[in-house]
C-alpha cells in the first residue's frame, strides 16, 4: 500500500492499471481506494451492487453531522476492444505533457487528483467536511451511483453541494440533457416468404415504428431549444440498433429496435413514450393481428439518466465558479450522474479535468496542465472548508 504523499500522476497510474471496463468488477480499485484512505485514518462505507461484484465507496474527511461538499467520480471505463491504441491502454503512458490510458480523462484523472489532495484534507482542520464518492456503471446508464445516492440523508451524510468531476476542461457546467434508452420488441408470425399472407412481418411493423420516431425527431428539431444554451439545440431522438429476422426465405417473426431520447431539462419523456406506444397500439398492431392474433409490441426501459437542470445562484454553482475563477456556466451534450444527486435534493454542478473530446477514443489522454488546474481548484476547496 502507498505510504505518505503520492502525486496525482502516480495515483492515476495505479487507477488506470485496474481494468474497470463496465463489464468487469471494480472491487480491486475500490479496495485500493479504501486502503489508501485508511492510511490517513479515514473510514469508508462500501455500497455493494445487488450482485456483489461491484461497489461504490463513500468517505468523509472532516467533521460529521454537517452538510459538506461531495466530490463524485465514476470508476468504470468504456471498452478498448477493436480500438487502434498505440500504447497499452491500461498502462499510464506520458508523452509531450499528456498522460495516455483508458480512463485517464474519463474520469480517473479527477479521482486521482482528489486522492492526491487527501493528505491536505486530513491535515486541514476542516470545519466543513469534504465527502468522496467513487461509483460504478456510469458508462452503462449512470445506474451504479443510485444505491449510494439514495442513502445520502438517510444513513450517510447529506451534502449541501456536489461537484461531479466529469471532463469539462475545468469549466463549470450547470445543465445537461437527460438520457433515456428503450428497446421496442415487435412479435409477429413466421411463414414461408412465398406465402406472406400466412404470416405477420415484424420488420415491416418495426419500420413503421421507426418512421414514427423519425417524425418525432423532426418535430423536436423544429421546436428547438428555448434556452439557446445547448448543442445540438433541441431534444434528440435516435434509433441506434435494429435486429430482426432469421433467414432470407422466412417472414420475420421478431424485430427489436433500440432507440434513445436526450431531452432538454424539463422535456416530458413520458408524453413522448405515451404517444409512441399509442401509435403502435392503434396503427401498427391491428395490421399484424389481421393474420396473427398473438402479435405484440412492447417497449421497455434500458436505462434512464435524469437531466441536470440549472439552479442559478445555488451553493454548488457559486462555490465552483469561485474556485474555478469563472463568471459564467456552461452546458454539455452528454449525461452524467449529476441528475441523480440533484433529484436527491443536493445542488449539483459538473466540473472536472480533461476534455470530453478525448473520452472513449483510442489513445485517450489527459493533459498534465488539466490535472494541475484541478489540484488548484481542490486546494481552494480545502481552504474554504477549513475557513
What are the catalytic residues?
A: 76, 138
**3-class secondary structure, 171:** coil
Contact call for residues 354 and 334 (beta carbons, < 8 A): no
Measured distance CA(8)–CA(120) in Å, rounded: 13
Neighbours of 123 (CB within 10 A): 11
Name the maximum alpha-carbon separation found in the chain: 80
Rounded CA separation 260/276 (Å):
13
CB-based contacts of 271, cutoff 8 Å, min separation 6: none
Omega into 232 within 30° of 0, i.e. cis? yes
Query: What whole-number distance in Å separates Cα of residue 132 and Cα of residue 116?
Result: 12
The Cα–Cα gap between 245 and 204 comes to 11
Please measure the distance between the N-terminal and C-terminal CA atoms of the chain and give it in whole angstroms.
Answer: 32
What is the rounded CA–CA span in Å between residue 205 and residue 295? 11
Amino acid at each position: 500500500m502507498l505510504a505518505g504523499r503520492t502525486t496525482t500522476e502516480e495515483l492515476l497510474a495505479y487507477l488506470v492499471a485496474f481494468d474497470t471496463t463496465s463489464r468487469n468488477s471494480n472491487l480491486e480499485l475500490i479496495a485500493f481506494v479504501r486502503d489508501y484512505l485508511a492510511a490517513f485514518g479515514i473510514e469508508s462505507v462500501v455500497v455493494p451492487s445487488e450482485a456483489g461484484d461491484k461497489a461504490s465507496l463513500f468517505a468523509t474527511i472532516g467533521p460529521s453531522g454537517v452538510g459538506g461538499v461531495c466530490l463524485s467520480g465514476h470508476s468504470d471505463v468504456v471498452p478498448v476492444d477493436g480500438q487502434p491504441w498505440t500504447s497499452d491502454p491500461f498502462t499510464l503512458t506520458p508523452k509531450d505533457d499528456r498522460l495516455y490510458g483508458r480512463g485517464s480523462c474519463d474520469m480517473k484523472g479527477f479521482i486521482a487528483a482528489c486522492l492526491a489532495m487527501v493528505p491536505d484534507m486530513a491535515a486541514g482542520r476542516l470545519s466543513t467536511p469534504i465527502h468522496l464518492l467513487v461509483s460504478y456503471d456510469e458508462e452503462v446508464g449512470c445506474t451504479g451511483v443510485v444505491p449510494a445516492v439514495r442513502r445520502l440523508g438517510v444513513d450517510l451524510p447529506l451534502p449541501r453541494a456536489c461537484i461531479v468531476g466529469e471532463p469539462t476542461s475545468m469549466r463549470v457546467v450547470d445543465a445537461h440533457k437527460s438520457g433515456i434508452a428503450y428497446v421496442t420488441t415487435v412479435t409477429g408470425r413466421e411463414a414461408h416468404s412465398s406465402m406472406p399472407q400466412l404470416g405477420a412481418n415484424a420488420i415491416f411493423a418495426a419500420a413503421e415504428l421507426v418512421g414514427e420516431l423519425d417524425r418525432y425527431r423532426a418535430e423536436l428539431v423544429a421546436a428547438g431549444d428555448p434556452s439557446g444554451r445547448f448543442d445540438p439545440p433541441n431534444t434528440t431522438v435516435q434509433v441506434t440498433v435494429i435486429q430482426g429476422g432469421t433467414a432470407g426465405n422466412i417472414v420475420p417473426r421478431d424485430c427489436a429496435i433500440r432507440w434513445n431520447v436526450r431531452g432538454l431539462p424539463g422535456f416530458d419523456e413520458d408524453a413522448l413514450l405515451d404517444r409512441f406506444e399509442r401509435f403502435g397500439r392503434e396503427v401498427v398492431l391491428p395490421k399484424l393481428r389481421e393474420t396473427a392474433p398473438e402479435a405484440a409490441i412492447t417497449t421497455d426501459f434500458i436505462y434512464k439518466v435524469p437531466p441536470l437542470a440549472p439552479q442559478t445562484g445555488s451553493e454548488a454553482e457559486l462555490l465552483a465558479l469561485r474556485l474555478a475563477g469563472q463568471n459564467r456556466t456552461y452546458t454539455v451534450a452528454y449525461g452524467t450522474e449529476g441528475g441523480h444527486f440533484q433529484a436527491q435534493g443536493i445542488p449539483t454542478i459538473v466540473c472536472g479535468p480533461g476534455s470530453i473530446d478525448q473520452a472513449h477514443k483510442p489513445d485517450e489522454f489527459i493533459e498534465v496542465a488539466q490535472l494541475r488546474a484541478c489540484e488548484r481548484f481542490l486546494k481552494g476547496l480545502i481552504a474554504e472548508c477549513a475557513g
